[in-house]
């Protein structure tokens, strides 16, 4: 077995003494667990360490693998430039991995590097590993393969890990996999990111998954739930799970703590050494079965307005034709009579794929005689004309999740104190016609300040310099 062990580790900058200046003592269990992991890595004597990090280059639709033969990083951005680290890359492994991704049709590889310097999630791991080699009086003879995460699905991240496993086997490398990632950032009201009830629940679930090696839960965890918990490590852990595909492992949760409002978990996973694959741990097939049922159940329960939006976009993508009201099947028209508001209204159609936004276009006030026509038009615009995204392709259609938000008439308000991120959407506008809008109740938008700032940015409005005003509106969300 070429993957000789895998470890999940966090990356709080203050764990580095030059940055923490004593605050690292507040996470003493994490420090000791990190040292234990590093001692184990020295004993395993890997030729290659493959590390995934949420803080390297990230693309929505591509997993980036760092190219080259050498890299350098420091904690200068955290006020400690003297804490600096160098590492040699396993260029042959990275090249083979990129080729394997290309052959397997996985959108990943070494293209598109914007910043070659090591990120802090990587250098923290290197800090402990290199120190362990020095303590053992051994040369750090391993080479590193560093990769980021992406907006791709859990299945694609798992497949990336499977290809790491395959390349390690083909090259005959002794490989240790290190998945860098913090847990929730919203554990305490007085923490730097505040509190969300999903925070402690996310950490509880991930720690249970680490203790039991239940990698299926890592794959099937709802993306909106994870975003509300403000996690950063989930996709890194999904790649690690793929690197242990069909492998019976001995798991161990070495430590967990979150005294500063961010969850830090350390865990180890050792293959048991069976020569044959353990089919019961084929989590990719299990995830795909789960996902197919989840999508089928979701579509079966869709609101008539959502089904209208889906029909409009799918027809346009497949035929190039725009549906009119008269083209809507009679059964759906009848359901719309009972379910949809009468008359005209502004609406937004939002598309998500793999839990990530894939398009969103709407109208603040009605531009069509009826809401149905508004939905038919905005659904096509969301999928084909949102300037932030390429047009939706036919093979993406089965994976799309739709929301239709029907807007009330906007009303002027005196200031942010009259907003509520869950109840009201906001419009920020200026006298010269610039306008930015943000819908209510969005994952990751927790404060009125965030809501206003994001809406202003969308309208190209500088809140510090421009003369701006606010309006609020309510929505009825159809899913």
Mean pLDDT of the chain: 95
Measured distance CA(430)–CA(415) in Å, rounded = 14
| pTM summary value | 0.91
The answer to whether residue 338 scores a pLDDT higher than 90 is no
Tell me yes or no: is domain 3-289 CATH 1.20.1330.10: no
Mean pLDDT across 197-219: 98
Q: Under DSSP, is residue 60 helix (H, G, I), strand (E, B) or coil?
A: coil
Q: Under DSSP, is residue 24 helix (H, G, I), strand (E, B) or coil?
A: helix
The answer to whether residue 434 scores a pLDDT higher than 70 is yes
Inter-residue contact 353 to 401 (CB < 8 Å): yes
Inter-residue contact 101 to 108 (CB < 8 Å): yes
Q: Under DSSP, is residue 352 helix (H, G, I), strand (E, B) or coil?
A: strand
Reported confidence tier of residue 1, pLDDT bands at 50, 70, 90: low
Domain ranges of the chain: 3-289, 302-404, 408-479
Tokens of 140: 């750090």
Q: Under DSSP, is residue 16 helix (H, G, I), strand (E, B) or coil?
A: coil
Instruction: Return the CATH architecture of domain 408-479.
Output: 2-Layer Sandwich (3.30)
Q: pLDDT tens digits, residue range 112-125?
A: 999 999 999 999 99
Contacts of 357 (CB under 8 A, 6+ apart): 350, 351
Q: pLDDT tens digits, residue range 400-411?
A: 999 999 999 999
The answer to whether residue 340 scores a pLDDT higher than 90 is no
Measured distance CA(57)–CA(152) in Å, rounded = 14
How far is C-alpha 148 from the geometric centre of its chain's CA atoms?
11
Quote the DSSP letter at residue 433: S
The answer to whether residue 177 scores a pLDDT higher than 60 is yes
Reported confidence tier of residue 444, pLDDT bands at 50, 70, 90: confident
Superfamily of domain 302-404: Hypothetical protein ph0010; domain 1 (3.30.700.20)
The answer to whether residue 468 scores a pLDDT higher than 60 is yes
> Does 3-289 match 302-404 in CATH topology?
no
């Amino acid at each position: 077995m070429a993957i000789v062990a895998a470890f999940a580790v966090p990356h709080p900058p203050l764990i580095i003494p030059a940055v923490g200046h004593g605050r690292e003592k507040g996470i003493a269990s994490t420090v000791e667990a990190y040292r234990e992991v590093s001692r184990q890595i020295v004993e395993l004597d890997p030729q290659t360490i493959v590390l995934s990090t949420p803080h390297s280059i990230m693309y929505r639709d591509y997993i980036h693998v760092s190219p080259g033969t050498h890299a350098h990083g420091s904690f200068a951005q955290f006020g400690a430039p003297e804490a600096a680290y160098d590492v040699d890359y396993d260029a042959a492994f990275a090249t083979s991995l990129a080729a394997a991704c290309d052959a397997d049709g996985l959108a990943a590889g070494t293209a598109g590097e914007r910043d070659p310097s090591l990120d802090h999630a990587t250098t923290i791991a290197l800090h402990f590993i290199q120190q362990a080699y020095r303590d053992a009086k051994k040369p750090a003879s391993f080479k590193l393969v560093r990769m980021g995460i992406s907006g791709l699905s859990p299945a694609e991240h798992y497949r990336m890990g499977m290809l790491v496993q395959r390349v390690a086997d083909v090259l005959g490398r002794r490989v240790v996999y290190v998945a860098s990632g913090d847990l929730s950032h919203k554990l305490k009201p007085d923490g730097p990111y505040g509190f969300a009830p999903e925070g402690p629940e996310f950490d509880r679930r991930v720690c249970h998954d680490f203790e039991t090696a239940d990698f299926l839960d890592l794959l099937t965890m709802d993306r909106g739930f994870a975003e509300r918990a403000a996690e950063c490590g989930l996709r890194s852990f999904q790649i690690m799970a793929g690197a242990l595909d069909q492998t019976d492992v001995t798991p161990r949760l070495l430590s967990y703590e979150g005294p500063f409002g961010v969850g830090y978990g350390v865990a180890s996973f050792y293959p048991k050494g069976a020569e044959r694959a353990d089919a019961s741990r084929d989590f990719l097939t299990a995830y795909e079965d789960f996902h197919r049922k989840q999508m089928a159940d979701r579509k079966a329960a869709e609101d008539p307005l959502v089904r209208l939006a889906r029909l409009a976009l799918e027809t346009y993508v497949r035929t190039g034709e725009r549906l009119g009201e008269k083209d809507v099947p009679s059964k759906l028209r009848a359901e719309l009579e009972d379910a949809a508001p009468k008359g005209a209204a502004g609406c937004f159609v939002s598309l998500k794929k793999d839990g990530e936004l894939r398009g969103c276009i709407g109208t603040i006030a009605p531009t069509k005689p009826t809401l149905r026509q508004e939905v038919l038009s905005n659904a096509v615009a969301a999928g084909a004309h949102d300037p932030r995204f390429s047009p939706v392709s036919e093979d993406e259609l089965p994976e799309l999740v739709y929301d239709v938000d029907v807007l009330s008439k906007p009303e002027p308000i005196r200031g942010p104190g009259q907003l509520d991120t869950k109840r009201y959407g906001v419009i920020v506008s200026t006298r010269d016609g610039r306008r930015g809008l943000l819908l209510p109740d969005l994952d990751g938008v927790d404060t009125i300040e965030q809501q206003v700032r994001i809406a202003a940015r969308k309208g190209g409005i500088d809140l510090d310099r421009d003369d701006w005003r606010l309006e609020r509106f309510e929505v009825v969300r159809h899913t």
